[in-house]
Amino acid sequence: MDRYKLEKHGLTPERQVNWNLSPARLYEESLGRGVARLAHMGAMVTMTAPHTGRSPNDRFIVRDESTEATVEWGPVNRSVSAEHFGLLRTKVVDYLNGVDLFVQDAQAGADETHGISVRVVTESPWQALFSHNMFLRLSSEDLKGFAPDFTVLHAPSLKADPSVHGTQSETAVVVNFSACEVLVVGTWYAGEVKKSIFSVLNHVLPQKNVLPMHCSANAGPGGDVALFFGLSGTGKTTLSADPGRSLIGDDEHGWGHEGVFNFEGGCYAKSIALSRETEPEIYQATQMFGTILENVVIDEDTRVIDFDDDSITENGRVSYPIHYIDNAITSGRGGHPDNVVFLTADAFGVLPPIARLTPEQAMYHFLSGYTAKVAGTERGVTEPVATFSACFGAPFLPRPAGVYAEMLGERLRQHGAKVWLVNTGWSGGGYGVGSRMNLSHTRAMVDAAVTGQLTETEFVRDPVFGLDVPVAVPGVPSEVLQPRGAWADAASYDAAALRLADMFKENFQKFEDQVTGEVRVAGPR
């Protein structure tokens, strides 16, 4: 029966097929095959070098009748023909037929109506454990009648041939919406599996009037929901992991008719510089059986983890089921958001620490998806570099960004959610001159926003960015709230603010034909 199920995918496996093994069994298979090691306290340690992050230039979507008019083709969504997909698929199937297989069946989306069933067929036992951690786990009863809506054929040891398969390199992540399949070859980085399904949901859910979002979400004691959007390094995980609030999810959500729902059953947190003091919940998860430590350094003798060692990569990752977080909402569901927080690490030091946005400004900043890289983070970066990623997740958006922004605007107006822009970057000057925002102050501002403490507060208009900035926040010195006053030289602030404003305007030109006039003028002056 198991082999017959795989035959439906065109697979006729010649070797052992392992179906939905438990974490303990997958540990045994991984350690026995020498593809993973055991860390102190029981986590599994894996290595994916040379690919220690996603390969955005190797991501493809099959261009056919179903995608021709709906996908925004370009450097983010590279097209590949159905013929090239077929040739690569044949190679993948032939390869998988000759190796031991691990099959993991799961769900993506904690919503009975809008979630999709996912099957991952892989040569790797630890990648099967990753799928077990990251997707929503099904009961034995649910597995009896399981039929996948989308299937991932995962062959990381296999390499594509660009001259034959139409790829850029030997690595390829190819989504075929007509065949409801994803092919992954040439990379062991586990994030490709979960992000490929996220891209699938970003394409199919808008057709069902559900907004897919690259954000974390939590809920207060009274059930009020807050969303946190932000690019890497802005504090999305840190600020959503609030001991006083319950975690719905840390990365991917949908906003549907009844509220928000998590796409995943686990968390995939960055591990660099992780400590018990700064991130106690995540740190606790790294000490537990079932957790995967991806590209994280351990002592060869004691097997103790060194989260400060970036000799493999700064993008070390930790994968664990969400119930490893003590205050997680395991249903993955919440009501309609009361507050939406956009996080940005402004290395120019000119954006206010917190500001209130109108729905039109929210759409503008959602489309902008701004943060900044600082000197030293990448080779050749000697001064702050503005980075814009539409909807805070451009690499995963098959459709035009304006589609998602319009859906967000509709929901903000319908449900009255308040939107806040929070700068977790620099104050009193840009990177190298000013100082990083005090985390305790940022936490106090976010707490004041999501608990309604700023409802009756007086706001003043920022003259450059047009944002409403509170004049007082409990627990935060008033001089922190006005960025111009925090600079020693006001003229230098003005020059830096105008420079960043021009960057915003230049970037937004590509969205002007996707939005209304009210949104077009909602940016910097």
243 with 385, same domain: the answer is yes
Catalytic residue from among 51, 195, 411, 441: 195
pLDDT at position 378: 45
249 with 396, same domain: the answer is yes
81 assigned to some structural domain:
yes
pLDDT at position 377: 44
Domains held by the chain: number? 3
| Residue 214: active-site member | yes
44 assigned to some structural domain:
no
| Residue 499: active-site member | no
397 with 285, same domain: the answer is no
400 assigned to some structural domain:
yes
Q: What mean pLDDT is predicted for residues 452-465?
A: 94
Contact 335, 259 (CB under 8 A): yes
Q: What mean pLDDT is predicted for residues 428-453?
A: 93
297 with 196, same domain: the answer is no
Q: What mean pLDDT is predicted for residues 425-442?
A: 92
260 assigned to some structural domain:
no
Please state, in angstroms and as integers, the Cα–Cα distance from residue 329 to each residue in 64, 220, 262, 281, following that order.
40, 11, 10, 14
Catalytic residue from among 214, 245, 356, 441: 214
Q: What backbone phi and psi angles, to 5 degrees, belong to 26?
A: -70, -30
234 with 374, same domain: the answer is yes
495 with 366, same domain: the answer is yes
pLDDT at position 155: 98
| Residue 195: active-site member | yes
Mark which of 192, 208, 224 sits at the end of a domain. 208
pLDDT at position 373: 75
pLDDT at position 4: 66
Mark which of 274, 301, 324 sits at the end of a domain. 324
Please state, in angstroms and as integers, the Cα–Cα distance from residue 80 to each residue in 86, 176, 277, following that order.
10, 9, 47
Among residues 44, 47, 46, 48, which one has the least CA distance to residue 24? 44
Catalytic residue from among 237, 240, 371, 427: 237
| Residue 163: active-site member | no
pLDDT at position 376: 41
Amino acid, res. 315:
N
Among residues 511, 505, 390, 508, which one has the least CA distance to residue 76? 390
488 with 353, same domain: the answer is yes
Instruction: Tell me the per-residue pLDDT of 306-344, one tens digit each, with 9 for 90 and over.
Output: 999 999 998 999 999 999 999 999 999 999 999 999 999
| Residue 461: active-site member | no
19 assigned to some structural domain:
yes
d(CA 34, CA 44): 12
pLDDT at position 145: 84
| Residue 484: active-site member | no
DSSP state of 39: P
172 assigned to some structural domain:
yes
Instruction: Tell me the per-residue pLDDT of 79-122, one tens digit each, with 9 for 90 and over.
Output: 999 999 999 999 999 999 999 999 999 999 999 999 999 999 99
Catalytic residue from among 51, 54, 333, 411: 54
375 with 466, same domain: the answer is yes
443 with 456, same domain: the answer is yes
Residue tagged 């509709």 (tokens): 410
Return the structure tokens found at 386.
Answer: 């503005």
Catalytic residue from among 251, 346, 462, 468: 251
| Residue 240: active-site member | no
| Residue 159: active-site member | no
Domain of 314, in residue numbers: 266-324
pLDDT at position 241: 82
462 with 344, same domain: the answer is yes
331 assigned to some structural domain:
no
444 with 480, same domain: the answer is yes
Q: Residue 58 — pLDDT band, cuts 50, 70, 90?
A: very high
pLDDT at position 33: 97
pLDDT at position 399: 97
Catalytic residue from among 59, 317, 356, 373: 317
Contact 226, 341 (CB under 8 A): yes
pLDDT at position 235: 86
CATH of the domain at 319: 2.170.8.10
Catalytic residue from among 55, 70, 81, 232: 232
Prediction pTM value:
0.94
Mean pLDDT computed over every residue of the chain: 94
204 with 83, same domain: the answer is yes
Instruction: Tell me the per-residue pLDDT of 356-408, one tens digit each, with 9 for 90 and over.
Output: 999 999 999 999 999 987 644 444 445 678 899 999 999 999 999 999 999 99
CATH of the domain at 23: 3.40.449.10
53 assigned to some structural domain:
no
Q: What mean pLDDT is predicted for residues 255-259?
A: 96
